[in-house]
Copies of this chain bind each other. A is one copy, B any other.
């Protein structure tokens, strides 16, 4: 039930409507926890019922009404209590790794193509994170104490994406070594062990 805690963290940083949260889960927070708007509205409604959050309707004339949520004291307590519980080990779910392993039983070229696509995706994500870091933290040795957690999580994102890109490159080196497209030396599609 961790979406609940992700919402608590986000609301603790700043109050928001369901719509605001949806956009946050598409950006910074969403790099580490994805959620769709349906999930968010439903969970928010339950949390309201449980007294963890409270909403006030903000009616700005000439705009649709917004239900703006805030943490209640119970919500703040729940969040603090959660930080005191050990994080359970994450259960990996990498369809990509499974697919690479399934390569011998499927379409080799298609999987290589998929690795290229995956590499491109993570390279893009990495570039995005690094741009954020350069913009928001030009001097990493002088990050303000209250911004440290956000900075450190961003650092985690950078490290993770870089690792992914490097891994893809390693795989491509093994599976599709830089071949000269014009003149292949020998027409042997099979790899040989040395």
Contact = CB atoms under 8 A, between A and B. Distances in A.
Interface of A: 2, 5-6, 8-9, 12-13, 29-34, 76, 79-80, 82-84, 86-107, 110-111, 114, 117-118, 121, 141-146, 148-150, 152-153, 155-156, 159-160, 162-163, 166-167, 170-171, 174-175, 190-194
A2 B106 contact: no
A98 B9 contact: yes
A175 B175 CA distance: 42
A121 B83 contact: no
A107 to B, nearest CB: 5
A171 B145 contact: no
Contacts of A192: 145
Nearest to A94: B32
13 contacts: A5-B102, A33-B92, A79-B106, A84-B110, A93-B93, A100-B149, A103-B149, A142-B194, A144-B193, A148-B174, A148-B191, A152-B174, A152-B175
Contact of A84 (B107, B144, B146): B107
Given A102-B9, A102-B12, A193-B142, A92 B32 contact: yes
